[in-house]
Amino acid sequence: MAKVIKLRKGLDVKLKGTAALETVAVKMSGEYALCPDDFCGVKPKPVVKEGDAVKVGDALFVDKLHPEVKFVSPVSGAVSLIERGDRRKLLSIRVKADGKQTARKFDVKGDVKALMMESGLFGMMLQRPYAVVPSPEDKPKAIFVSAFNSMPLAQDFEYVLEGQETEFQSGITALSKLAGVYLGVSSKQKAKALLEAKNCEVNVFEGPAPAGNVGVQINHINPVNKGEVVWTMAPEVVIMLGRLINSGEVDFTRTIAVAGSEVKAPKYAKVIVGAKLSDVLEGQIDKSANNRIIDGNVMTGLKSSLDGFLGAQTTEVNVIPEGDDADEMLGWIMPRFNQFSTSRTYFSWLMPKKEYRLDARVKGGERHMIFSGEYDKVFPMDIYAGYLIKAIISGDIDRQEALGIYEVAPEDFALAEFVCSSKLELQRIVRQGLDTLRKENM
């Protein structure tokens, strides 16, 4: 029987615009883009030129440090643009789709790691420490997969899994050949493909967000110590790996949630990685409104636009009000029933099931850190979050190591950032701290 781990710390933020369990297909059109910034820790080197013809699965760029790790085209067509920014930084490689989806055939009978590196799926994993694309030279002590996301407006993976159970199990079995696999599921999930998954250890988590964060699950099952490495893979990528094992072709089609209070009819969309967001959101938003389009989760995603492209790791696209045109009489001191508060400043504490239409405003400026214990209330890891942030800001590497920086990723601090009275960009601070520590140890 699966082990049940109950978490008490955390916070469920209920927002309007949850996607209905209905899926529509996004038509293929125009350009698709693969952006190196979606793969943290990679130094990209293009291996194609503008005008080159590519199939699904053909390499577009590789990692300079590990050229065997390839990042491949999600569509077949011709390379239309190699976009560069300041100091010739590679921003994206775009492919004009031909609509045929001609795919490259892979030999699936050999080494699983080599297959993943060749097909582009290895680069869609992350490792702890540092929350970067793994080094193929490392031997992980375990691989973690979280089959649910507890953040607001997140996709329901149990719904996404329907009809793809065989591929999911094939992916888990393939991963088990590399290291022991830990599968984290929610106490609310009932799918047999999750609860009775083979070739892995199933652990059930019960509690508020961020219970679905893989970092929280690692911390409670098999924590990362200095010198150890674990790998993590999103459940949607596990399905992609299973498709590759079963068919010999890599398929980057995924089902994402199109959600948020400003989406006209929130639902799921079947789309290929790298699609233009204007196609994903066609007919779903008021283009004249002052909205924020978020590529990713509302708590952890990146600000984007209709001209942007769907990220390689994206499982939802959210649209919320920008909020910079709001005019509120008396500001925060006005009694309110439609505003959310983690304290009792507003009346939201009397209505725990109420859904809110929150905007993107920070509502205050950055200020000195306030050690009130507010981070600890929403941070269900055996780590002193506030002291770790302070150590990162001060650049005290020894203290960062002692306080558990090897276990965390920026997403683990999303809720702490949401409740932060000091208005600090905690996820950015943690990312900078991890990057600095990685440079020191390379």
* SS3 per-residue string spanning 60-88: EEEECCCCCCEEECCCCEEEEEEEECHHH
350, pLDDT greater than 80 = no
Please report which helix (H) or strand (E) contains residue 117, including its range: helix 112-119
Distance CA 184, CA 148 (A): 8
- 12: nearest Cα among 155, 210, 296, 189: 210
Q: Is the C-alpha dihedral spanning 172, 177, 178, 180 positive or negative?
A: positive
**HSE value, Cβ hemisphere, 13 Å, CA-based, for 234:** 17
Which element (helix H / strand E) includes 194?
Answer: helix 192-195
Which residues 6+ apart lie within 8 Å of 215 measured at CB? 128, 381, 407, 408, 409, 411, 412
pLDDT digits (tens, 9 = 90+) for 47-98: 999 999 999 999 999 999 999 999 999 999 999 999 999 999 999 999 999 9
What average pLDDT does the segment 210-219 reach? Answer: 98
Q: Extract the tokens encoding 280.
A: 């994903």
How does DSSP classify residue 126? E
**Helix-helix angle 385-394:426-441, to 10 degrees:** 60
pLDDT (0 to 100) of residue 295 = 98
Is the confidence at residue 248, as pLDDT, over 90?
Answer: yes
Predicted confidence (pLDDT) at residue 302 exceeds the cutoff of 90:
yes
